[in-house]
Structure 1
Amino acid sequence: MRILVVAAAVLALTAASAQAQGRGRGQPNEGGQKSDNKPKVDEKAYKAALERIPESKEKYDPWSGARPAEPAKKPK
């Protein structure tokens, strides 16, 4: 009898977690209206912000730590 109760509990928990994962995916809004919560982007402000970013004086190398250091050249 205990095995039956434990099996039923495990099955119920599995079904509940599977149901929770499927909620909200692919379902239309209940109100029927599209909610536009995205902020409006002002093109002039965007371009002005891009121009305020200072230019880098040296190039950034993201792989510098992955490559071995270049050996120092010995003068002849």
Structure 2
Amino acid sequence: MVTNPGKEFKSRLVTSFSEENGIEHHVTSTEHSEANGRVERLNCTIREYIRKRSNPKIRQKNDKISLINL
């Protein structure tokens, strides 16, 4: 997992979750805005995926497309 150096990513909850699930946590430098930009873009992509998968109409359409591709 790559995050910015925000305090919310240093919490006990995130730390213990990461350790329990074998997730390596890497923190970007505040001076390296390019890496932060990539992380933010990935976050947008993940949010969009979750939003679409949470919408039953879109989920049904995607499931039908997946069946057609089989």
- Please give the range of the TM-score, normalised by the shorter of the 2 chains: 0.3 to 0.5
TM-score (norm 1): 0.32
Larger RCO, structures 1/2 (Cα 8 Å, 6+ apart) = 2
| The structure with more strand, counted as a fraction of residues | 2
TM-score (norm 2): 0.35
